[in-house]
């Protein structure tokens, strides 16, 4: 597990063989001429004159390699391959003091970013100062960021203002080199104070802050009454270790669970967890060596100074902020601090982890890159581009979503996916769908969009393709988020390709030969009323046909049935509009929400947002059918001929209605429509076995 040479540049050149071997072993490298840019450090611990980049002439091989840059769906991001034991090993290796000042290092595990124009990510460590708090995330972040971590040597006594100057000099230098390149400051605990202070002092620089249980609430820590006792204890008295653990560790069970497979049986999982916890215990005694008593006392002073400095400048912060707060933080009142900062910072969003401890980034189940992607916080320019800034789901994200979070839901639905070949034959697979785009899927939007998750999963499993779903802009806004906002289904929609429905987004997706998903019925269809299931609410205008013709898109009409077997609509829009309180709430959220079809007259234009009251039923089965592909190539006449375009539009709508009628009729022939029959089949043949259905 590599750890970079952490010395200032001159020290790296003249380092002895023993120290050089130790650093190579742990895979970190100094921020030197090998990296895209460098900020060397002066002996007083404040960043000095940066070493300038040296441009190299690209040969043909380098150009070819650059052209191949990019990330495919389900790429291996390496997340889950590193454990907390690796953190302890790295911390021990880099904590040996060499008398140097604070400095940056680039973790070797990060490698070079796989995307062009990747933003810079600077990690500002917590109280330990080691800079290895991102170790579980190095590989995944390194694919899409240029990562550097700040290391503060154990015996360094640089005051808060000096550390602030170190970070500030680096971001100013990088801003001068690339004024339009955003920079991410990931501030963990104490590092959160640094990040807030830097942002407050540099509003002209495009910064994005990710604050992880920031120590801005240090004045309210539950440890305040015992801090004076800590100062009076003899240095040889090892009772300081438990307090040290409060700064370094979170939930031991969640930390020990990192890298334990989720498909193990309960006895196997328990054994693995026991072994992991047992192997961690000897490491805890080494914490006192990593942060000795005198250093800990100095860190407490730094915390106090940093929290005071940051809190006095909160109103000056202009940067985008994503605050990650733990609900079981025993060191800081992070939940309450999320409430305060959500109000105090101008552009702050929160993701709340109610069951996690203080060291959130070292605990199981927290993938920082996934959180950033789900919150739509990843960008490579001044503004987020939903088309070009999108990062495909990774293999670990796919497993987390569909093999864990949604597994029981999909198992209960046992979805049947069918497609139509060019000769009209219906097959139980997606083989009737082209392998290359541009492809536009046009279909019926089931109640609350419950058909989307199985659809995304099947396209990724079978076709290794991302379906970019065009959705209502409200799903990507922040107006209705709270200070205790947990990861939600909306985050999942963004991770798996969702983006706001606009003509320009559709145009650019077609231009890039993407798979695009469109529901002409929109919100009105997804939030339909009682007895309106499987009814299309499409507008009169052919909204998409002419654009599809311009790009020669393959249009595939499709339908899905099964919502009536899964959900019972109890209170619909009409019911809620007659209930005082609910009526005012609906009016208020729609007054603030973006309107998509105000220009559309009649019932089809009614796009009011609301939350219908639903009751679950004994799960039936979902059936999908993708119709025969309609080739739009060579139909350029539709671009100007509105009547012909409307004829094609009505044809597509009619085919969707016919598909729905076909599925409703054929599901009556399915011997495994009942969940009891499906459960019996899987008990016999295994959970992973594909349950049979009707003959198409």
pLDDT per residue as tens digits for the range 79-95: 988 988 888 888 888 87
pLDDT at 154: 87
Q: Which ranges of 565-670 would DSSP assign to H, the alpha helix?
A: 573-577, 582-592, 642-666
pLDDT at 62: 47
pLDDT at 293: 73
Assign 542 a pLDDT band (cuts: 50, 70, 90). Answer: confident
For the segment 236-250, what is each residue's pLDDT rounded down to a tens digit?
544 444 444 444 444
CA-to-CA distance for 239 and 230, rounded, in angstroms?
A: 9
pLDDT at 598: 52
pLDDT at 530: 95
Beta strand 439-443 with 499-500 is: unpaired
pLDDT at 107: 95
Q: Tell me the two tokens of residue 176.
A: 């001068």
Give yes or no for residue 468 having a pLDDT over 80: yes
Give yes or no for residue 136 having a pLDDT over 90: yes
Tell me if 470 sits within 8 A of 596, measured CB to CB: no
CA angle, residues 478, 482, 483, in degrees to nearest 5: 120
pLDDT at 48: 36
Which residues are paired to 230 by β-bridges? none
CA-to-CA distance for 256 and 200, rounded, in angstroms?
A: 37
Q: Which of 408, 426, 421, 431 is nearest to 623 (CA)?
A: 426
Which residues are paired to 440 by β-bridges? 516, 555
CA-to-CA distance for 198 and 186, rounded, in angstroms?
A: 12
Give yes or no for residue 12 having a pLDDT over 50: no
pLDDT at 227: 65
For the segment 23-52, what is each residue's pLDDT rounded down to a tens digit?
443 445 454 323 333 333 332 333 333 333
User: 126-136: b or e for each residue (b if 16 or more CB lie within 10 Å)?
Assistant: bbbbbbbbbbb
Tell me if 213 sits within 8 A of 188, measured CB to CB: yes
For the residues 256-274, what does the mean pLDDT come to? 55
Tell me if 607 sits within 8 A of 596, measured CB to CB: yes
pLDDT at 591: 78
Tell me if 565 sits within 8 A of 617, measured CB to CB: yes
Q: Tell me the two tokens of residue 158.
A: 């640089």
Give yes or no for residue 142 having a pLDDT over 90: yes
pLDDT at 225: 66
DSSP string over 123-184: EE--TT--S-TTGGGHHHHHTTSEEEEEE--TT----HHHHHHHHHHHHHHHHHH-TT--EE
Crossing angle, helix 160-177 and helix 293-311, to 10 degrees?
60
CA-to-CA distance for 318 and 346, rounded, in angstroms?
A: 7
* 632 preceded by a cis bond (ω within 30 of 0): no
Torsion angle of alpha carbons 300, 48, 202, 367, nearest 10°? -60
pLDDT at 242: 43
The DSSP letter of residue 498 is: -
Q: How far is CA 492 from the centre of its chain?
A: 8
Give yes or no for residue 279 having a pLDDT over 90: no
Residue 346, CA distances (Å) to 200, 318, 342, 358, 429 in order: 12, 7, 8, 25, 49
Q: Which ranges of 219-360 would DSSP assign to H, the alpha helix?
A: 227-232, 240-248, 252-256, 266-284, 287-290, 293-311, 334-344
Which residues are paired to 188 by β-bridges? 212
CA-to-CA distance for 188 and 454, rounded, in angstroms?
A: 36
Q: How far is CA 442 from the centre of its chain?
A: 27
CA-to-CA distance for 387 and 27, rounded, in angstroms?
A: 35
Average pLDDT along the chain: 84
Tell me if 687 sits within 8 A of 412, measured CB to CB: no
- Sign of the alpha-carbon torsion through 449, 453, 458, 463: positive
Tell me if 583 sits within 8 A of 415, measured CB to CB: no
Q: How many residues does the chain have?
A: 696
**Number of helices (H) and strands (E), helices first, in the chain?**
26, 19
- Domains in the chain (CATH in brackets) are 86-375 (3.40.50.1820), 395-685 (3.40.1130)
Give yes or no for residue 551 having a pLDDT over 50: yes
Work out the percent of the chain whose per-residue pLDDT is above 70.
78
Which residues are paired to 212 by β-bridges? 188, 324
pLDDT at 270: 53
- 3-class SS string, 16-79: CHHHHHHHHHCCEEECCCCCCCCCCECCCCCECCCCCCCCCCCCHHHHHHHHCCCCCCCECCCC
């Amino acid at each position: 597990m590599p750890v970079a040479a952490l010395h200032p540049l001159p020290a790296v050149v003249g380092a002895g063989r023993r120290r050089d071997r130790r650093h190579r072993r742990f895979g970190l490298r100094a921020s030197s001429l090998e990296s895209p840019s460098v900020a060397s450090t002066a002996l007083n611990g404040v960043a000095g004159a940066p070493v300038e980049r040296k441009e190299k002439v690209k040969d043909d091989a380098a150009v070819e390699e650059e052209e191949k840059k990019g990330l495919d769906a389900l790429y291996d991001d390496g997340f889950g391959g590193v454990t907390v034991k690796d953190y302890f090993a790295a911390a021990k290796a880099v904590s040996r003091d060499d008398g140097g000042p604070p400095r940056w290092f680039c973790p070797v595990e990060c490698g070079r970013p796989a995307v062009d124009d990747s933003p810079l990510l600077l990690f500002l460590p917590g109280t330990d100062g080691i800079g290895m708090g991102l170790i579980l995330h190095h590989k995944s972040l390194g694919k899409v960021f240029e990562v550097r971590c700040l290391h503060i040597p154990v015996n360094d006594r640089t005051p808060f203002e000096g550390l602030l100057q170190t970070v500030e000099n680096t971001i100013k230098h990088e801003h001068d080199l690339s004024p339009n390149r955003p920079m991410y400051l990931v501030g963990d605990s104490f590092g959160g104070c640094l990040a807030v202070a830097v942002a407050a002092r540099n509003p002209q620089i495009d910064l994005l802050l990710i604050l992880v249980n920031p120590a801005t609430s240090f004045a309210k820590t539950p440890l305040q009454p015992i801090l004076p006792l800590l100062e009076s204890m003899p240095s040889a008295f090892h009772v300081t270790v438990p307090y040290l653990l409060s700064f370094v560790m979170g939930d031991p069970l969640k930390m020990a669970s990192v890298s334990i497979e989720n498909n193990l049986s309960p006895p196997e999982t328990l054994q693995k967890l026991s072994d992991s916890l047992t192997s961690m215990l000897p490491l805890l005694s080494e914490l006192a060596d990593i942060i000795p008593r005198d250093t800990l006392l100095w860190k407490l002073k730094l915390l106090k100074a940093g929290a005071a400095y940051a809190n006095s400048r909160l109103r000056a912060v202009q940067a985008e902020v994503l605050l990650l707060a733990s609900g079981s933080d025993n060191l800081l009142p992070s939940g309450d601090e999320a409430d305060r900062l959500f109000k105090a910072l101008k552009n702050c969003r929160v993701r709340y982890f109610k069951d996690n401890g203080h060291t959130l980034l070292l605990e199981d189940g927290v993938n920082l890159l996934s959180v950033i992607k789900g919150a739509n916080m990843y960008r490579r320019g001044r503004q987020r581009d939903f088309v070009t800034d999108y990062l495909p789901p990774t293999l670990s994200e796919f497993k987390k979503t569909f093999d864990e979070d949604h597994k029981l839901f999909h198992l209960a639905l046992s979805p049947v996916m069918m497609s139509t070949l060019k000769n009209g034959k219906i097959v139980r697979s997606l083989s009737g769908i082209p392998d290359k785009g541009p492809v536009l899927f046009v279909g019926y939007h089931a109640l609350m969009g419950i058909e989307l998750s199985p659809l995304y999963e099947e396209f990724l499993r079978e076709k290794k393709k991302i379906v970019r779903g065009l959705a209502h802009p409200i799903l990507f806004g922040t107006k209705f988020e709270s200070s205790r906002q947990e990861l939600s289904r909306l985050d999942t929609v963004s991770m798996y390709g969702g983006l706001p429905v606009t003509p320009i987004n559709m145009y650019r997706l077609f231009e890039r030969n993407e798979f695009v998903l469109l529901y002409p019925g929109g919100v009105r269809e997804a939030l339909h009323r009682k007895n309106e299931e499987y009814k299309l609410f499409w507008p009169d205008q052919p909204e998409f046909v002419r654009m599809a013709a311009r790009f020669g898109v393959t249009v595939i009409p499709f339908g899905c049935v099964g919502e009536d077997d899964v959900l019972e609509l109890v209170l619909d829009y009409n019911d809620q509009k007659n209930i005082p309180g609910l009526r005012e709430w609906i009016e208020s959220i729609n007054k603030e929400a973006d309107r998509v079809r105000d220009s559309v007259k009649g019932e089809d234009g009614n796009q009011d947002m609301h939350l219908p009251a639903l009751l679950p039923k004994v799960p039936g089965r979902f059936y999908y059918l993708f119709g025969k592909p309609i080739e739009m190539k060579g139909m350029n006449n539709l671009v100007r001929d509105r009547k012909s375009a409307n004829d094609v539009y009505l044809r597509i709508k009619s085919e969707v209605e016919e598909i729905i009628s076909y599925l409703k009729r054929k599901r009556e022939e399915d011997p495994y429509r009942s969940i009891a029959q499906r459960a019996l089949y899987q008990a016999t043949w295994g959970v992973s076995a594909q349950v049979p259905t009707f003959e198409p």
